[in-house]
Structure 1
Amino acid sequence: MKYEAITTSTLVEPPLDIDARKRLKQQLRQAERWNRSKAFLLVVPLLLFVGITFVMPIIEMLHRSVYDPLVADSLPRTVAALKQWDRQQLPEEAIYAVLAEELVSLQEQHELSKVAGRLNSEYSGMRSLLSKSARRLSRKDTITRLIDTGSVRTAMIDIDQRWSDIAPWAAIKNLSSRYTLSYYLAALDMRYDENGEISAQPEQRQIYKTLLLKTFAISALITALCLILGYPLAHLLATLPESRSNLLMIMVLLPFWTSLLVRTTSWIVLLQTEGVINDVLIHLGLISERLRMIHNMFGTVIAMTHILLPFMVLPLYSVMKNISPSYMRAARSLGAKPGYAFIHIYLPQTLPGIGAGAILTFILSIGFYITPALVGGRSGQMISNFIAYHMQTSLNWGLAAALGGILLAMVLLLYSVYNRLVGINNLKVG
């Protein structure tokens, strides 16, 4: 049988010319661009959803926390006239006349209460001062007569002696800009003083700084309690046989299937003065007088710890489940005592779960609203309750946005610290 000789040249394809290589590379780039475009189009709905429901509200909140056009729009002539005022002495007669005319105009348009309320937050008593002055100046063409005689300043001081003070005028000038940091200063118990300098609020008006520190302290305490209670529970779930572990995991997840309001109401039933816990303690003879465990800080901490405990257990469990028991057995076989082996071998491997559970629990706790409002009462409330108050009752959305912006900044700071110490790539949440 004869075989034809096959030379090497018949097996090797001829090399492509330069133009063919360029066309091939171009086709490959086009194919890659098309694949990336298809992948991007698939996630466009998700990006739109996240942008509309999450990113845009945050941007709007941050914008509202620094945007305050009410005084500039309501008193434009007064604001323009005060630009050259040096804050060293009372304004000139012409500025008094301009303000008097604008106050009367706002009174007739029923818009005075808005600007008066905003100025009152900057200078206490401004609401009554503006309302009283506008009411007195609007009688029988008083403004025209006073302007003609050049006695507007004297008349306004006669109406209220506070017009002879620089403070009301400084308050108007401090809020004359459309963009201001006054909301953030108020959220930190600070303000612009009569000279336009940043100073502390009067002691009787300082509430937010203490409330912020209280919120972070409560959140840290709840996070610590969840870690103390959740760590042994997660270890038990990770080491038990799968059949028993699954049953206990159902018990851990059971609160997620119950409404937050229902769980909070249940704690009210348990903790109230005539509640179940007090009845049991009295029946057992452990106490002689009923304990006050609700509408205070104790009730807030207990209820929130119970509600947030699963958020600590799940990240810990996901990490512990992947730790081989052979590490502990090897340490014991080498002579290490159980406590030493746990601290030096097992505990360091669970740090990603501890970090993830701690940051998740802490962030959730600083924004809690329903539980502190129902269980904590007045003394157990947190900063989120005051944010809701300014949004719903006082309608001071700028201050509410500033308080929310401070919380957001603290969360981002906490996130950066976690990323530096543990690494966001090690985040495991179950």
Structure 2
Amino acid sequence: MDQAPALTASQSDVLPQEENGLPLKVKLRRAERMKKIRAMALIAPLFIFTLLIFAIPIGIMLVRSIDNPEVVSYLPNTKVELDKWSGEGMPPQTLTAIFATDLVQAYHDKTAATVGKRLNYDVSGMRSLIMRTARKFKSHVPVDATLDTFVKADKRWKQEKYWNALKRASGSLTPFYLLSAVDKKIDDKGDIVNVSEGQAIYVNIFWRTIWIAGVVTVISLLLGFPIAYLLANTSSKVSNTLMFCVLLPFWTSLLVRTSAWVVLLQKNGIVNSSLMNLGLIDEPLTLLFARPGVYIGFIHLLLPFVILPLYSVMKSISPGYMRAAESLGAHPAVAFVRVYLPQTLPGIGAGGVLAFILAIGYYITPALIGGPQDQMLSYFIANHANSTLNWGLASALGMILLGSTLILFTIYNRLTGASGVKMG
């Protein structure tokens, strides 16, 4: 029989690389591409959830902090004339005539109150001025209204500050809310200046928020460190019991836990009664609706968030390090400070940052337990969003709070990264 011709060396190299007519290299690329697609499909739900719950709301908040639609949307012709006007002196007759027409139309459309409310944020009394003028013009619509026409409707139109406020609000975007959040404003000359002393509140509130959160974080770390150390180095039975006590507060809502302190911290409450029975104090302490009560309530809420990261890090530290240091002649206290404590720094940093970020965002605790001088920035954000409905200022304050949080996280990330390099 005829034998098949032997394969040449080049043919034997090519055939193992092909299967079903496709080179092996192509099949490997397809396999890698399918792995990437499967990996993206697995993380897609988490990405979409993060986008919907976190990224989009932050984007909306950023837009609302600079959005200025009232004059642009409800006084469109007036906005065009305001752009032509330099803002110096009193407005020209072309502006007053078109403004009167737009104002009457806005009154019929029930949007004049929205315009007045926005202008009132800038100059007090603008809402009543806008509504009063619109009502007078509605009954007798002025034709080619002049400045005198407006003055007859309300004498306040003689003052330039009201026309300047209208000019400042004529843009679709504005720094007004962001400036207000840091106690600044744009004056009639277009310069950025400080607001009056009686209106300058938000910078002080911001530093008060940072101070309260910082104090609470430090105290929580001081209290949480020994508890976490005990959890990590005691027997399993004791550790499980202590862990149950640490996690027990999570079984009740934040509002219930905070409300409980209202009962405990009263002048005739359990805390004061116990201290008096022990002879530690002669008269009840002022704990409720005061700064001490805020500290106590915050520490109770945040202590588990400090303990758990510390416990996680301490559990991974081998006890052999301490024994080795002591066997080399180090005093137990020295060995603890120089050997054990540096290894817990990641847990201290994580617990501290977590507690600080949560503290600056809470507003229920100081609202229920604290007094007027104990309210934090988050309280005013909630107040403007829910009560005064000043969404622009609420968003601006939220951006400041978010920015400070990001700065803190960046600093923490840099420090922990640097420490990691050094220890490595």
Fold match by TM threshold 0.5: yes
User: Is the 8 Å Cα contact of residues 170 and 195 (structure 1) preserved in structure 2?
Assistant: no
TM-score under structure 1 length normalisation: 0.89
Do 1:170 and 1:196's aligned partners in 2 also have CA atoms closer than 8 Å?
Answer: no
Residue 12 of structure 2 is matched in structure 1 by 14
Q: Which residue does 2:79 correspond to in 1?
A: 79
**1:295·1:379 contact (CA, 8 Å) conserved in 2?**
no
| Percent identity of paired positions between Structure 1 and Structure 2 | 45
SS in 1 for 2:13: coil
* Aligned pair partner of 2:239 in 242, 245, 250: 245
Larger deviation: 401-410 or 103-112? 103-112
Could you tell me which residue of structure 1 aligns to residue 26 of structure 2? 26
One-letter code of the match for 2:75? L
Question: How far 1:51 sits from its partner (Å)?
Answer: 1.9
Counterpart Cα distance in 2 of 1:425 and 1:77: 60
Distance 1:78 1:232, change over 3 A: same
Change (3 A) 1:44 1:311: same
Opposite residue 244 of structure 2, the aligned amino acid is: I
Three-state SS of the structure 1 residue aligned to 2:95 is helix
**Residue type of the partner of 2:289?**
H
Q: State the SS of the aligned residue for 1:191.
A: strand
Q: Which residues of structure 2 form unaligned runs of 5+?
A: 1-6
C-alpha distance after superposition, 1:314-358 (max 9, x if no partner): 111111111122222222222222332222111111111111001
Query: What is aligned with 1:5?
Result: none
Hey, what does 2:3 align to over in structure 1? none
CA distance in structure 1 between the partners assigned to 2:124 and 2:406 by the alignment = 34
Q: Distance in 1 between matches of 2:50 and 2:216?
A: 30
Structure 1 window deviating more from structure 2 (210-219 vs 332-341): it is 332-341
Cross-structure match for 1:392: 386
Structure 1 gaps of 5+ residues are 1-8
2:215 is equivalent to residue 221 of structure 1: yes
Deviations for 1:245-278, whole angstroms, at most 9, x for unmatched residues?
1111111111112221221111111102231112
Whether 1:108 and 2:108 are equivalent positions in the alignment is yes
Aligned positions of 1:195-214 closer than 5 A: 195-214=189-208
| Residue pairs, 1:322-341, within 5 angstroms | 322-341=316-335
Q: Secondary structure at the match of 1:291?
A: coil
**Which residue of the partner structure matches residue 45 of structure 1?**
45
Deviation at 1:414, TM superposition (A): 1.2
Residue 193 of structure 2: SS of its match in structure 1? strand
Shift of 1:15: 2.1
Read off the aligned partner of 1:245 and give its amino acid letter. S
Instruction: State the 1:159 CA deviation.
Output: 4.0
Does the Cα contact within 8 Å between 1:270 and 1:277 map onto a contact in 2? yes
The correspondence for 2:174, drawn from 169, 174, 180, is: 180
Alpha-carbon RMSD across the aligned residues, in angstroms, is 2.4
2:402 aligned partner, one-letter code = L
| 1:304-343 correspondence runs (5 A) | 304-343=298-337
Q: Does 1:156 align with 2:167?
A: no
| Number of positions where the alignment pairs a residue of Structure 1 with one of Structure 2 | 411
Comparing 284-293 with 259-268, greater Cα deviation is found at 284-293
Task: Classify the secondary structure of the residue corresponding to 1:209.
Answer: helix
Distance in 2 (alpha carbons) for counterparts of 1:386 and 1:181 = 19
Query: Structure 1's 418 and 272: CA in aligned 2 closer, same or farther, altered over 3 A?
Result: same
Question: Deviation of residue 395 (structure 1)?
Answer: 0.9
1:281/1:23 Cα in 2 relative to 1: closer, same or farther (>3 Å)? Answer: same
Tell me if the contact between 2:87 and 2:167 (Cα under 8 Å) persists in the aligned partners: no
Whole-Å Cα distance in 1 between the matches of residues 42 and 227 of structure 2?
41
Q: Which residue of 1 aligns with 2:364?
A: 370
2:263 maps to which residue?
A: 269
Which of residues 341, 358, 381 is equivalent to 2:375? 381
**Map of 2:283 onto structure 1:** 289
Aligned to 1:167: 161
